[in-house]
Amino acid sequence: MKNAPSCSKVSDRAVQCPCCKGFHVIKNGFTKTGKQQYCCKSCQKRFLACYTYHAYEQGIDRDIISLTKEGMGIRSTARFLKISAGTLLSRIVLIAESITPPAVPSGKTYEVDEMQTFIKKKDKRVWLIYALDRHTKNIPCFNIGTRTNKNLNFVLKTLQNSQAKRIYTDSLKNYKSLIAKKIHKVTNSGTNHIERKNLTVRTHLKRLSRKTICFTKSFVILVCILKIYFWG
């Protein structure tokens, strides 16, 4: 940027900045492969008019989030975006790391349930343990692992620290010792909303569907996909 005087100005509205959508753009030298590079004088971002590798195009992360939430698999998304599956997996991890869990409001009514799946082999069973806000249908927190008190408590403590008004669960025995009796409720129709959410999640995410050839190979990728699906 210090050598800006040596840059030549682009003709009127010839190139638009993909970041700020401005037209105050100047030519800014060439890349190693000989492609023209541009610089926006408004937001100081550099960019190319045409990228060889589609993974570097503007808005690719937004497309990955949208396609993931629509239920497209890894290889399907990679084919659609014209990038490699390895690059897509790396981007998914980076996107998930940038997502922060939402704030848990106090005084709400929640439903908690577990959804069974597996990683690599059907012998390696894990459960998606998560909570659902009964009124907003938002997911305040989730955890993945076996149905031990430690993994269940990761979700339940988050709800109890937010002073939950009521927590509905199924008849799993572990809940009785982990949730205070005054806010714990077990009824036949108490988890109807989260059971419906289970069906929606299994329909959207192929890796969680029953009787399918799609499955998760990595615990990390499963966590990242769920973070993008719930909070992206």
Do 185 and 119 have their domain in common? yes
pTM: 0.78
Task: Compare 46 and 190 and report the one with higher pLDDT.
Answer: 190
Is residue 216 within 8 A of residue 117, CB to CB? The reply is yes
Do 153 and 192 have their domain in common? yes
Do 35 and 65 have their domain in common? no
Do 66 and 20 have their domain in common? no
Query: Tokens in use for 225?
Result: 């996909």
pLDDT at 22: 78
Q: What are phi and psi of 230, to 5 degrees?
A: -80, -40
Do 113 and 213 have their domain in common? yes
Do 115 and 133 have their domain in common? yes
13-26 per-position pLDDT tens digit: 577 787 787 788 88
In a domain, 227, yes or no: no
Do 34 and 115 have their domain in common? no
Query: Tokens in use for 6?
Result: 């040596």
76-119 per-position pLDDT tens digit: 999 999 899 999 999 999 999 999 999 999 999 999 999 999 99
pLDDT at 48: 75
CATH assignment at residue 142? 3.30.420.10
Task: Compare 11 and 66 and report the one with higher pLDDT.
Answer: 66
Q: Is the pLDDT of residue 54 over 70?
A: no
Domain that holds residue 91: 58-98
Q: Is the pLDDT of residue 204 over 80?
A: yes
Q: Tell me which of 12-21, 56-65, 186-195 is least confident.
A: 12-21
Helical segments of 70-218, H only: 74-81, 85-98, 149-161, 174-178, 192-204
Is residue 174 within 8 A of residue 117, CB to CB? The reply is no
Q: Is the pLDDT of residue 51 over 90?
A: no
Is residue 9 within 8 A of residue 26, CB to CB? The reply is yes
Do 19 and 76 have their domain in common? no
- Percent of the chain whose predicted confidence (pLDDT) is above 70: 92
The total number of structural domains that make up the chain: 3
Do 167 and 192 have their domain in common? yes
134-151 per-position pLDDT tens digit: 999 999 999 999 999 999
Q: How confident is the model at residue 5 (pLDDT cuts 50, 70, 90)?
A: very low
Q: H or E element: which one contains 220?
A: helix 219-231
Do 64 and 90 have their domain in common? yes
Q: For residue 232, which of 84, 70, 90, 76 has the smallest C-alpha distance?
A: 70
